[in-house]
Structures are given as C-alpha cells and as structure tokens.
Amino acid sequence: MDRRTFIAGGTIAGIGITALSTMAILSKDTNDTPDYFFELDEITIDELQVKMKSGELTSHAITKKYLKRIEELDKKGPKINAVIELNPDALAIADKMDNERKAGKIRSALHGIPVLIKDNIDTGDKMKTTAGSMALIDNMASKDAFIVEKLREAGAVLLGKTNLSEFANFRSTNSTSGWSSRGGLTKNPYALNRNTSGSSSGSGAAVAANLCAVAIGTETDGSIIAPSSFCGIVGMKPTVGWLSRSGIIPISASQDTAGPMARTVKDAALLLQVLIGTDANDQATLTDKTGAETNFTKYLNVHALQGKRIGIETSVLKGKVEVVNLYNKAKEVFTKLGATIIETDLLGATAELGEFEWNMLQFEFKDGLNKYLANSSCKLKSLAEIIEFNKKNESTIMPYFKQEILELSQLKGSLDEKEYKETLVKLATTRQIISDLMAKENLDAICSISIGLANCTDLVNGDYNTGFYFGSPAAMAGFPHITVPMGKVHKLPVGLSFMAGAWNDAELLGFAYAYEQTTKNREIPEFIASI
C-alpha cells in the first residue's frame, strides 16, 4: 500500500511504499560505470520455457542463476535490498520441476519459473511472513496462502520473499516507502537515491533489476501501480475477487488484492492466470463472474485498441511538463492504433471520497489484522499488542517515523458501528461514478499518467507528493488497473495507466499489450548512484 499522502486535504494519493561500494556510486555519465550485465536480463517466461524445452537450461540452472544474481546485485554491488528472505527449498523445488519435465509433465506456463512474492503473503514452509515488521518476526505460517497454493500447483519455483513498506505502508503518516524495520530500505534500480514507492517496493525493484522472472505484489490503493511505475515495469491490480486474500496480512477486506508484477504485459497475464480461483475462505472470490474472460492471454493483440473509445484523464495535464509530454505522445499512439480519445476528469469526480476511504481503511485494518494474528503463530495477538511492542522497541522499529496509523486504527470500534457502515455506503458510489462516466461516453477504458517521477528517498522527512497519482478510483471501486512503461524523464521511468470496470481484466491487458508492443518503452535500469 503506497501511503503517498494520506495527509494533504484529507485525501489519499496512494496506499496499498548502507554505504555504497566505490564502483556502485559512479555516475552512469562517466566512462567507469560498472557493468551489471546478467545473461538472463529481460528474459521472458516464454523464452525461459523454450530454453528448458530444448535442454539449454534447466529450472535448477535458472534458479541458481537468479540466486547468484540476488547475491551479487541485491546484497553486494549496488545493494538494491529488494529481497528480504530467500527460500532454502528453491533449488529442491526446481529439481522436482525438472524431473517432472523429463517425465513429460508440464503443469503450466509457469512450470520451473522462479517467482518472488511479497513478505505479507503466507508460505507454509521455512520462510517467515512479517509484513516487514520486527513485531511479527516469529510468524511462521502453518500453511500456504491460497494464491501460493495456486503458484505451487502451477509448478513455479518460490524463490523467496521481497521487502516492502512496513505493514504495507499503513503504519505512519510520515513514512518512507520501501523501508521496513525487518528489511531496511529498498532502493530504486534506476537511481539508487530515488524511492521505489510502495508498498510492493521489493517486488517492483526485484523485477526491474532482473532478480527474478516475475513477482507478486499486493495493493490496497496504489501498492502495485505506484512501485511498478517508479521501477519501470508492468504491474496489475486485478478486479477484487479474482485472487483470494486468504493467508495475506490484511489492510482492507473491501480493497485488498494481490497482483502480478513483470517486465512485460504477457508475463503479467501468464502469472495472473495461474493465481485466480474460487476460495471458500474469501467471500469476494465467490462473486458471480458469469461471462468474465479467464483466458487473459487470449486478448493480447497488437490491434486491441482498434475501434476502442479511451477516456483520457485531463486533470493530470497541469503537472510536470516533461511527464505530460510523454502522456501526449501516448495519446498519439492510441490514435495511430485506431482508438478514439475522449477527455474525462475521473479524479475530479471522485476526489471527495478520499476521506471516506481513509476512515474505512482504519476500521478494516484493525478488524482484519486482529483476526489474522489470532490464527497466527505470532506471540503478539492483536493490534494493541503490536503498538505496545513497537513502543518498547522504538529505537529499532521506529528510528525514522512512528506509528500514527496503527494508533488511529486502534481507536476505531467494530465493523458493526454505524460510522463504518455509512462509510461503506458512501464509498460504494465510486463504482457508480466510474460506471456512469464510462456509460455516458461509451468508454472501453480510462487512461492516465500512473504517478509522478520517483521522489528522492528521505528517511528524515518521509515521502512527498510527486504531482500525479491515479490509483485511488480503481482501488476504491475494486476495479482492474494496469500500468505499463510510458518512457523516462531525467532517466527515471514513468508509467501509463489503464483502468476499466469490474471483470474487464482481460480486455485491459489487451489494451496495455497493444500500447507496449507499439512503443517498447521498457528500458533496463542503469543503477545510477544519484539523480
């Protein structure tokens, strides 16, 4: 959850973010820039499958290469610090997948593919699940989260867990995204002094830096979209209800969802496809999806935008001119691909709802976390106990920012309270506002700048507003939202967002794919010391 500014005007602009070696601090503009070339740089899932099918590589060999890459780049070299824990069983899983392949069994497109997951997702193995908090350091899940079960069923290799903004950026109103008391600070691979956003900071940085094939993040409001944009990758928040939240440390039962983070739209679609499923323990997944397309790769067509009507968010046109110029170029691409452009102002239409979202999140966080902790192996069994633990260990857990959001949430009552129920009713209007706007203009999707350029990391003052943010409408409505690289300004990536109504995920992936394949904006990071 990317808590970019809970603060300004009572609205939310995103929820859901060591000394360097001599080599790493050299500027990219010098002739002495270190070369962090990796033989699997930018490789796709399809390309890895081809190499395994031909016998050129095995899953064991691929997994070993990524483990070495993490050791050299994440823990040494520029020290991205994206991975919070490695899976000691990763190579054993890879060996099993190799043996199955030899026997003629291929489980899915993810068979033998190394995947990293965010450290708020339960794994019933030797790894912890802590949400980046030292308060949960003893939390060993007894079983896999539902989506991890699906991942294992698909034959993926669980490589490890990624760092995140502590408690998915729902701890302090003055936090620095990408920092956790357990994992420390994750750095942006494009410029090490720049922020990764959050809360899926480690997943975004890991994918960008080629530390894995693909990764899983989670989002409440912006926590997949914002770090994906900052880190120059594809990130998708699917419709709430496609993916189970069982076994994921919660913030909001209304808005939480996991989602894929990848270097290409197709890889995101392939990962999303294996994670969907109906879970009796998550009511949202039981929603009627009659007519909804489950074959997400079917819609990946370079002509997907032909004849479509795309709403263009106009409120962002007043922002930083270099970013707006990229946005205007994107509109030209839409027209070239046969789409009709219609001006919209969704952010303006939904602006007043931010304060209701903020109120709802506090209620649901307290309720959801208390329920999760009650059934966990963690010694701390409530939000109240975590608050007290943090106070007793303030020097290590709260050296830069405190826990205002935890304390505010603790003051909330139960979900039976009138205040909570009235807030839900008010927030439900978000879906109606979006649906009415799209119906009025007969829109197939709405497009915008995802978020502004990566801010400088500042542990003293915390995050600051970067001028753009488009995450909240889709988050509050539970609708799908995808970001894809739109280009770079001052060597920093910026993403282009597409959002649509519920269960239109497949079509949305198609729009993003058409734009991606036409523009090819994704660029490998350069690990510049400072911008």
| Residues taking part in catalysis | 118, 199, 223
Residues 112-137 as b/e (b if ≥16 CB within 10 A, e otherwise) read: bbbbbbbbbbbbbbebbbbbbbbbbe
Q: Helix 265-275 crosses helix 505-519 at what angle (to 10 degrees)?
A: 160
Q: How far apart are CA 235 and CA 240, in angstroms?
A: 15
Q: Helix 354-374 crosses helix 383-392 at what angle (to 10 degrees)?
A: 90
Of 118, 106, 121, 120, nearest to 154 by C-alpha is 106
DSSP state of 186: -
Q: How far apart are CA 350 and CA 470, in angstroms?
A: 11
Number of neighbours of residue 294 by Cβ within 10 angstroms? 14
Q: How far apart are CA 367 and CA 360, in angstroms?
A: 11
Q: Is the peptide bond before 199 cis (omega within 30 degrees of 0)?
A: yes
Residue with tokens 């004849």: 307
For the CA atoms of 247, 252, 257, 262, what is the dihedral angle to 10 degrees?
-100
Of 278, 116, 227, 206, nearest to 455 by C-alpha is 227
Of 200, 204, 197, nearest to 175 by C-alpha is 197
Of 132, 167, 125, 194, nearest to 493 by C-alpha is 194
Of 320, 349, 404, nearest to 6 by C-alpha is 404
Query: Residue 112 in 3-state DSSP?
Result: coil
Query: Residue 389 in 3-state DSSP?
Result: helix
Q: Output the six-digit token pair for 239.
A: 């419709």
Q: Output the six-digit token pair for 278.
A: 């109906």
Number of neighbours of residue 332 by Cβ within 10 angstroms? 10
Which amino acid makes up residue 101?
R
CB within 8 Å of 249: residues ≥ 6 apart: 120, 121, 129, 131, 136, 167, 168, 369, 372
